Amino acid sequence: MNVVRKVSTTLLLICLIPVFGQEQKNTITVTGECIKNIEIEKFIVNVEFNEIVADAYQNLEAQSLKELQLQFSTMLQKQGINFDKFEEKKLYRITSGQYRTASYFFYATSAVEEVEKIVSIKMKGLRNTWVDVVAKEKTNQELAELHKRALADAQERALLIANVSNKKIGNITYIEDVNYKYQYISSSKEKEPAKYYIKVTFGLE
């Protein structure tokens, strides 16, 4: 009885293989794309202070974190920026391993001129300054418009490929869209166009 079942299962699989193969031959999957514009929402300017230990050899006087922050605040005021608008990165400080000797602050602004003023400040004890660029998220309506353009590109690409094989494209059988509202800006590739991608499967006739 078991032998009969095994034989029946094997025959069934053999019969199904050509069917699956035929289904695969009757579809075409392409990637559609379009260029998307990414807007900057804001800049996050990060600053790190490290207390200065007195060093006679380097002619350095000791300065506490509070003293350094006050000095930085004075320099900012000359640039028309209020240090009170900076927020301390307490969690970052706690996990940095330098809780007693370093402090970290950040400032959010949409004005690139303010960013330039802050990063231009140089002083002892200001160890590091870096900038994070935050992109504006896409709305569902904006994503839908990008989807429409990428779909048109996919249809054109599928049509051209199908023509080579003397085929015609039919209905869409599957669309894969893994794009998100969150957008990312690479400061090292600011001239490289950002793109929106979708994967589309068409039936072939």
| pLDDT computed for residue 25 by the predictor | 63
| pLDDT 10s digits, 124-169 | 999 889 999 999 999 999 999 999 999 999 999 999 999 998 999 9
CA distance linking residue 36 with residue 198, whole number of Å: 13
Delineate the domains of the chain, giving CATH numbers in brackets.
28-39+137-204 (3.30.110.170), 40-135 (3.30.70)
Who wins on pLDDT, 185 or 200? 200
pLDDT reported for residue 2 = 46
Does residue 53 register a pLDDT over 90?
no
Residue 56: predicted pLDDT: 75
Which residue has tokens 């690139």?
A: 112
**How much is the pLDDT for 48?**
97
